[in-house]
Amino acid sequence: MSRSPGRKQENNKISRELFVLTYGALVAQLCKDYEKDEDVNTCLDRMGYGIGIRLIDDFLARSGVKKCRSYSETADMIAQVAFKMYLGVTPSVSCSSAAGNEFSLILDKNPLVDFVEELPAERASLCYCNLLCGVIRGALEMVHLAAEVTFLQDRLKGDAVTEIGITFLRKPEDRKHKRN
């Protein structure tokens, strides 16, 4: 039995749409379960963190990437390989500190909000896609890179783009280990 050439792409699109719809239902349920947006944000981050610590093995196995030698290389790898592999988008990367440890991932299109028009006014402090921050933080931690990951801008809140900030918490020289 032969397969048509467009079949795999069609299955990926269906899987992504199913994921996006399921994610929307998850966020809606969390909003019902928790009164405060901060609690929903924390829960999404915690869930994402759990996903990230498991997803890194799949990423390393499937992508075949080599060890990154700098924070900028790591940020580029997240944007150009990981986001493309799992979400089908490639955010642009900008360095936002002279120390070279703060980066922004700027998404012109965020696939997690494909079916979301806007956040209700009573949910103004909800960070709808906070799961992504947890995923990135968890994956980085599993490769021994402590980082703070937060949303800096969000289209759902009226910003022009969606921007995720990554701040690596150790200086590059702290990462080197001395051998006895």
Name the band, by pLDDT with cuts 50, 70 and 90, for residue 97: confident
Q: Which region holds residue 33: left if phi is over 0, alpha if psi is between -120 and 50, else beta?
A: alpha
Q: Show me where the domains of the chain are located.
A: 16-112+126-168
This prediction's pTM: 0.86
Share of the chain above pLDDT 90, in %: 67
- Distance, in Å, from the CA atom of 136 to the CA atom of 70, rounded to the nearest integer, reads 17
Task: Give the CATH architecture of domain 16-112+126-168.
Answer: 2-Layer Sandwich (3.30)
Given a cut of 50, is residue 105 above it in pLDDT?
A: yes
List of E strands, the chain = 92-95, 102-107, 147-153, 162-168
Share of the chain above pLDDT 70, in %: 87
Question: Mean pLDDT for the chain?
Answer: 88
- Distance, in Å, from the CA atom of 63 to the CA atom of 166, rounded to the nearest integer, reads 21
